[in-house]
Chains A and B, each alone.
Chain A
Amino acid sequence: MEKTSLDTAALQLMLKKFNWRNFLREYMIIGILIIFVAALAFMTEGNSIAPVNLVNVVRQVSAIGIIGVGMTFVIITLGIDLSVGSIVGLAAVVSASLVQMPGGSLVKFAGIDLPVIVGILAGLAVGALAGFTNGFLIARFRLAPFIATLGMMSIARGIAYIYTGDGRPFSDLKPDFNYFGQGYLFNDPDVKLSGIPLPVVIFIAVAAVATFVLNYTKFGRYIYAIGGNEVAARVSGIRIPRVTIIIYTISGLLAGICGVLLAARIGSGNATLGTGIELDAITAVIIGGTSFKGGVGKIWGTVVGALLIGVINNGLDLLSVSPFLQIVVKGCIIIVAIIIDERKNSKAS
């Protein structure tokens, strides 16, 4: 008897100490996602939650999500990476050009037959190199991240067009390459729609690794510290230039991964791939609760943010809302998310 009453007392104390307002503020985004999913399911008479559609949504989301993970690192340190969309295009054309079927039409490197892995690695390397360049410009020449990556945004896209020559996409890619965009993990050939699309698997892996890095490594702490107060971080012995370069290299590398996956998904490398995806990624990061004031942010928030964008985009598609109106809706979401961020900050202080 006595033990029970003690437990009740302890529980009551826990409930009292539990800060409901903070809890709601922290996890509100998940609630919003559920509300949207439910509302769209109702409005589309269940079409939006049909398995075919759901798989479709998560596959679309994985591109925004993978880039959003890198963007989360960048925004926590008070940076921004506008170049990721262009890096996607560049990585896509570079990798696609190396995995074309010999004898196909419009082959970039006729007569050269390389293993698929070379194409993939080339795409990733191009992304990482572009990201490294961003980081180097920001760290060594003290360029504002906005300016450095705005420049790279233009440069990378331009190079992608030049690389394709006449701007036509590289198609007739090897099936082993396309598998990465179109294949499934745990696919049971007898069951329709079984398994998880590979881009989604990669997205989950990227998010998991990033969560680990942010929460359990020295490097992760340094990211938060730099965003929290860069001067104090430097005085504490953190080598700001080194960390900055690594962060932007990661962001570029993830954009490279995304480029390879998108090329594999549509079976061709197109220089226009990834156009505007940086804005979707930034939106996902911000509505996921990462603060534009630095030092605060979580990967799971970005993942949920990306899902929310995917669900809304897809829902509006299913409801046959004009794509132009969809862009307006997206803009509204960004603004609302920033207002919430502002209010969070003003309340905290």
Chain B
Amino acid sequence: MTEFLVEMRDITKRFPGVLALANVKFNLRSGIVHSLMGENGAGKSTLMKILAGVYTLDEGEILINGEPVTIASPRDGLANGISMIHQELMFVPELTAAENIYLGRELRTKMGLISKKRMIESAQAVFDRWNININAATPMKLLSVAQSQMVEIAKAIAFDSKIIIMDEPTSAITEREVERLHNIIRQLREAGTTVIYITHKMDEVFAISDEITVFRDGAWVASEKAANMNREKLIGLMVGRELNQLFPKVDAKVGDVILEVENLSRGNVVKNVSFSVRRGEILGFAGLMGSGRSEVLETLFGIFPADSGVIKINGKSVKIREPHQAIDSGIGLLTEDRKKTGIMGVLSVGENMSIASLTKYSIGGVLRKRKIDEVCEAQRRTLDLKTPSLNQLIENLSGGNQQKVLISRWLLTDPDILIIDEPTRGIDVGAKAEIHRLMGELAKQGKAIIMVSSEMPEILGMSDRIVVMCDGSLVGEINRADATQEKIMELATRFSVEVVA
């Protein structure tokens, strides 16, 4: 018998104009959790999509239990016991959890008709056996992201998969849900299932992995037992250089209060929220997913108008019921979901960058094109934006560079207050550090920065002051010096106490 459950040898994959994988190898031992790390575009997802049959390989071979296999479609992948849970979950929202699990191979009655009853029963049996707290008869559209993910895992289990690949499973779920996911993964491992775990998050890698493989620029870099790895070594392998400091917090002079929000309320998502922020300060918004962090700031920015509350800038009350009013008041908002509410994919880098500040760069409605090119070019240089030209379509840029373009979009409006919702979500390590450095510099220039982040290290590393939200209310405030993960978590989960009381 061979040592490895899966061996991938000399895998090469080309996309039009890009060599995504070049002679990559990957060996997978049975019954372990094997994490794949690497910056965006390193090739880890591509390699796994080849293993699962989503993509077909151009060159190379795949061996399972020492036997060469051909995996040309997801169906072949499943036949070989391989399931992949994609980063963007794929399901039919109108169908129930059970129907989604048995999609394409529905359980039937004796008459040959589809039996919803049988499907719900067997799906529920899987949920119960794995301690997944979901009713199998619930339509998928009513489930949270974390719950949908559990359904996908149950689906893989129901398919009798020997290998389950999870592509960044924690990019959109809360820390508590991550814990639950990790428990399931450990249970799976005990039951003999092999799990491949793709992630960007250091803490998780060390919490869950037995073995770690690092990729960089479409090539295999290293495979190691997790016990033999540490943070610095791992980051070094990923970026090919040692990062001295992950969060280069620049000491900025904290000045006068610039923004005061009093008793802001909207429906039952934002409840009487009051806070203030000073020039040169980075204010972190912490809280679990769904605690209302983004909602407060979207209300402040006028994306959804507030029911009540007062917003004061420099002591003067302002009316903000539409984003353009917020922009005129000197506020910028970098939204959480880059693709849905940030970039205009089919427009160029330059057009995306300048769109919020065209009034400033036009005379009587006519664009000052040369001026616009100049300021965009200057932004491109200061932010070290990697794009062949400003005319490149923004959708062709990597996530980190798209984020830089969006930061530039707001910098060009020269806001006094910049709100950044999840500044580094889905961004590789190198770009992450650059964005953090940039935030520090902006604070130093005297801008007030409000940051929402689901990543504890980011919140702790970047914020001068942290406010914590829970269930639509602001439940506490912690100074940088006193902030710990435990304190934040304690506040963020306060609602359980209130519910009991």
Contacts and interface: CB of A to CB of B under 8 A. Distances in A.
Given A225-B355, A239-B322, A232 B344 contact: yes
Contacts of B358: 218, 221-222
Interface residues of B, number: 34
Interface stretch (B94-102, B255-263, B363-371): B363-371
Interface in B342-399: 342-347, 351, 354-356, 358-359, 362, 365-367, 369, 393, 395
Interface of A: 216-219, 221-222, 224-225, 227-229, 231-239, 291, 293-296, 347-349
A225 B324 CA distance: 15
Contact of A218 (B301, B343, B344, B365): B365
Nearest to B395: A349
B393 A348 contact: yes
Nearest to B326: A237
Contacts of A232: 335, 340-344
Please list the 6 inter-chain residue pairs (A to B) with the smallest Cβ-Cβ separation, ordered nearest first: A228-B344, A237-B324, A295-B346, A236-B356, A237-B327, A229-B344
B333 A235 contact: yes
B346 A294 contact: yes
B396 to A, nearest CB: 8
A231 B339 CA distance: 10
Contacts of A228: 344-347
15 contacts: A216-B366, A219-B365, A229-B342, A232-B342, A232-B344, A235-B323, A235-B333, A236-B323, A236-B409, A237-B356, A239-B324, A293-B346, A294-B346, A295-B345, A296-B346
B303 interface: yes
A168 B61 CA distance: 78
Nearest to A231: B341
B320 to A, nearest CB: 12
A232 B301 CA distance: 13
Interface of B: 16, 301, 303, 322-324, 326-328, 333, 335, 340-347, 351, 354-356, 358-359, 362, 365-367, 369, 393, 395, 409, 413
B365 A224 contact: no
Nearest to B413: A237
Contacts of A348: 346, 393, 395
Chain A interface mostly: helix
B344 A238 contact: no
Contacts of A291: 346
Contacts of A296: 346
Given A218-B367, A231-B341, A236-B356, A224 B323 contact: no
B26 to A, nearest CB: 27
A221 B355 contact: yes
Nearest to A347: B16
B331 to A, nearest CB: 10
Given A236-B409, A348-B393, A217 B356 contact: no
Given A229-B342, A235-B303, A293-B346, 14 more contacts: A216-B366, A218-B367, A224-B351, A227-B346, A228-B344, A229-B345, A232-B340, A234-B323, A235-B333, A237-B323, A237-B324, A239-B322, A295-B347, A348-B395
Contacts of B327: 236-237
A313 B405 CA distance: 47
A348 B347 CA distance: 12
